Amino acid sequence: MGHYKSNVRDIEFNLFEVLGVGKLLDEGHYGEMDASMARAMLQEAARLAEGPIAESFASADRHPVSFDSETHEIVLTKSLRRSVMALKSSGWSLLGLPEAIGGQRAPMAMVWAVREMLYVANPAVSFYDMGPAMAGVLFDLGTPQQQHWAARSQELGWAATMVLTEPDAGSDVGAGRTKATDQGDGTWHIEGVKRFISGGDVGDTAENLFHLVLARPEGAGLGTKGLSLFFVPKYHFDPVTLELGERNGVYVTGVEDKMGIKSSPTCEVSFGTNGSPAVGWLVGDKHNGIAQMFKVLENARMMVGVKAAGTLSTAYLSALDYAKERIQGADLTRATDSAAPRVPITRHPEVRRMLLTQKAYTEGLRSLYMFTAVYQDPTPTLAYGLSGADPTLARSVNDFLLPVVKGFGSERGYDTLKLSLQTLGGSGYLQDYPFEQYIRDTLIDTLYEGTTPIQAQDFFFRKIIRDHGRAFEHVLTLVEDFATFAHPDDSLLGERQLLAIATTEVRDMAKALAGYLVVAQTEPSEIYKVGAGSVRFLYAVGDLLVAWRLLVQADVACGALHKDNVSEEDASFYRGKIAVASFFAKNVLPELNATRAILAALDNDVMTIEESEF
């Protein structure tokens, strides 16, 4: 039995019972796929994830990929290669992508749930399979010829990367110096060195690989707006058949030695520095690089949040199994009686608190990313049916939720993994169990694709202020309506009242930060308060939304329990939903009151302390 434990029951609960996607599936909104086919597909993805993909999880960590500096290629171990090929040949990564490139229509909540299972089972493996996602973006943005390349490249199993970061341009992408020179024949020469490129080479798991690269055309302006997006293949190819030709002048020149996801090849990639030019093509024939790259980044940021939620899920299920079996200590009521029988650690209050916290964030974060996916769905009926959002508003709601899914999700996922490990005590620290690797593999989620402070600033400045609070209001009104409207079942009334109070507190936090921003028009240093408060604010919104999604699930569970013929297994599942929602509302929501007070009283001390005083 491998390390990975999927939770198809919870995914199906969200998809069919909470979001009501089954009806749309059966009405034919997703082509051939109906609800029973979707259920069968989820089971199949879980089998693949738990089996061949998960198989090399630990060995890929203990025996990372190596780099051959002669060939400039990475070399995989046999077991890692088997997992990569199992993922690639399954074709699952094409789910939800355009049919023209071999994809299949599917509800986006299901697409992300499938990705949760496949990528969490072995995160390092997923970086060898970014071809379909990148081809999807190239197909959306590219010229007709590039669309042909996007489609054909996926028949051929080509890999792909996203290339932004440079040694001196990390969060500040606009500082990038890689330059592009127009050759006047439709091609460009790219010159520069890029760093931290995931999947920069994939060894012998794909015959070719293309990079989507941000570079600055000669004469273009400074900052992100001066960047353009280029398609740069590892090997040249025939533009019609895609038969391979000469090597292009793009080479991996180093592979990073990392704390986690050790077999994900994180490469330094040099363009045009090895004596031959790195030839590229302008994506879509348009100089609109940063906006085009954000099509990739939005998907990748979502993926990171999904990965964080999914890793916590498998960790929680393993910690739970362990806790049920592990006999240690006496029940606290008989703690002073040395003759008292020893009990499973699930009898200890703090272990229960830790397990409920893990369950809450696991199921809350999953429900939140699946809710977010509704606003990415190709069928506008879904978002409209759920919250009355038209396609324009749906786009804003998705934008608004992404930093929560990525920034808050990755931080809470990482923090809560420590409780999974702690459930096992000292044993959790051993490599006999997967927890220490989960922790090392997950910390990166708070860093790549935009660090947490970047997510928090994006959330406040762009997703709330620049959006004039439209998506913020839409989502908070949904939460408020849920908290305050009369429910047929009153059993969670107190918890809904806590939710209503927390919603008001989040509104107050937003007002406090917006207030600093207004004053900053005349006193510029006031903006530092927004900078110093934005991460706390992001976390507060995240906790509010997790509480809301848990209470929505509990509401559905209450209804389900009143139906006839509920099996004992289902009844436990539903009662668990109610218990965890209640636990989270009572144990976490009151903390928002302190955050509100802190944000309302922010001063600029963090900025006035001298560097020598740190």
Query: Does the protein bind ligand ST9 through residue 468 (CB under 6 A)?
Result: no
- Identity of the amino acid at 431: Q
Query: Does the protein bind ligand ST9 through residue 222 (CB under 6 A)?
Result: no
Site for ligand ST9 in 254-293 (CB under 6 A): 290-291
Query: Does the protein bind ligand ST9 through residue 126 (CB under 6 A)?
Result: yes
Q: What's the Rg (C-alpha) of the chain?
A: 25
Three-state SS for 66? Answer: strand
> What is the DSSP code (8-state) at residue 294?
H
Among 299, 314, 379, 595, binds ligand ST9 (CB under 6 A): 299
As a 3-state breakdown, the chain gives helix, strand, coil percent values, each rounded to 5, of 60, 10, 25
Please say which residue, 154 or 198, places its beta carbon nearer to ligand ST9.
198
Among 101, 124, 255, 297, binds ligand ST9 (CB under 6 A): 297
Q: Any bridge partners for residue 335, and if so which? A: none
Three-state SS for 316? Answer: helix
In sequence order, which residues have a C-beta less than 8 Å from that of residue 73 and are 6 or more positions away?
67, 201, 203, 204, 252
Please say which residue, 242 or 454, places its beta carbon nearer to ligand ST9.
454
- Identity of the amino acid at 104: Q
Query: Does the protein bind ligand ST9 through residue 450 (CB under 6 A)?
Result: yes
Site for ligand ST9 in 474-493 (CB under 6 A): none
Among 224, 318, 396, 410, binds ligand ST9 (CB under 6 A): 224
Three-state SS for 256? Answer: coil
Among 110, 124, 159, 300, binds ligand ST9 (CB under 6 A): 300
State the CB neighbour count (10 A cutoff) for residue 391.
Answer: 10
Among 61, 449, 495, 505, binds ligand ST9 (CB under 6 A): 449
Site mask, ligand ST9, residues 181-200, x = CB under 6 A?
-----------------x--
CA 73 to chain centre: 28
Query: Contact region for ligand ST9 (CB under 6 A) — 80-88, 298-306, 427-435, 523-531?
Result: 298-306
Please say which residue, 294 or 573, places its beta carbon nearer to ligand ST9.
294
Please say which residue, 98 or 428, places its beta carbon nearer to ligand ST9.
98
Residue matched to tokens 């020179």: 181
Compute the half-sphere exposure of residue 103: CA atoms within 13 Å on the CB side of its CA.
Answer: 26
Site for ligand ST9 in 198-217 (CB under 6 A): 198
Query: Does the protein bind ligand ST9 through residue 94 (CB under 6 A)?
Result: no
Three-state SS for 186? Answer: coil
Number of residues that bind ligand ST9 (CB under 6 A): 27
Query: Does the protein bind ligand ST9 through residue 443 (CB under 6 A)?
Result: no
Please say which residue, 174 or 469, places its beta carbon nearer to ligand ST9.
174
Residue matched to tokens 């989620």: 445
Sign of CA dihedral 25, 360, 463, 98: negative
* Rounded Cα gap, residues 188 and 540, in angstroms: 46
* Residue among 363, 417, 389, 473 nearest 13 (CA): 363
* Rounded Cα gap, residues 372 and 358, in angstroms: 21
Query: Does the protein bind ligand ST9 through residue 133 (CB under 6 A)?
Result: yes
Query: Does the protein bind ligand ST9 through residue 304 (CB under 6 A)?
Result: yes
Phi, psi (5° rounding) for residue 35? -65, -40
- Work out how close the CB of 464 gets to ligand ST9 at its nearest, in angstroms, rounded to a whole number: 12
Tokens of 61: 């960590």
Name the pairing type of β-strands 159-163 and 209-217: parallel
Please say which residue, 224 or 263, places its beta carbon nearer to ligand ST9.
224
Tell me how many degrees the CA angle 85-89-92 measures, rounded to the nearest 5: 115
Query: Does the protein bind ligand ST9 through residue 448 (CB under 6 A)?
Result: yes
In sequence order, which residues have a C-beta less than 8 Å from that of residue 58 and are 6 or more positions away?
3, 431, 434, 437
* Rounded Cα gap, residues 559 and 538, in angstroms: 32
Please say which residue, 201 or 555, places its beta carbon nearer to ligand ST9.
201
* Residues designated catalytic: 449
Please say which residue, 227 or 355, places its beta carbon nearer to ligand ST9.
227
Query: Contact region for ligand ST9 (CB under 6 A) — 20-28, 129-137, 144-152, 506-514?
Result: 129-137
Query: Does the protein bind ligand ST9 through residue 458 (CB under 6 A)?
Result: yes
Site mask, ligand ST9, residues 156-175, x = CB under 6 A?
------x-xx-----x-xx-
* Residue among 435, 399, 444, 400 nearest 308 (CA): 444
Q: Which residue is nearest to ligand ST9 (CB)?
A: 299
- Work out how close the CB of 162 gets to ligand ST9 at its nearest, in angstroms, rounded to a whole number: 6
Please say which residue, 128 or 322, places its beta carbon nearer to ligand ST9.
128
Residues that bind ligand ST9 (CB under 6 A): 126, 130, 133, 136, 162, 164-165, 171, 173-174, 198, 223-224, 290-291, 294, 297, 299-300, 303-304, 448-450, 454, 458, 462
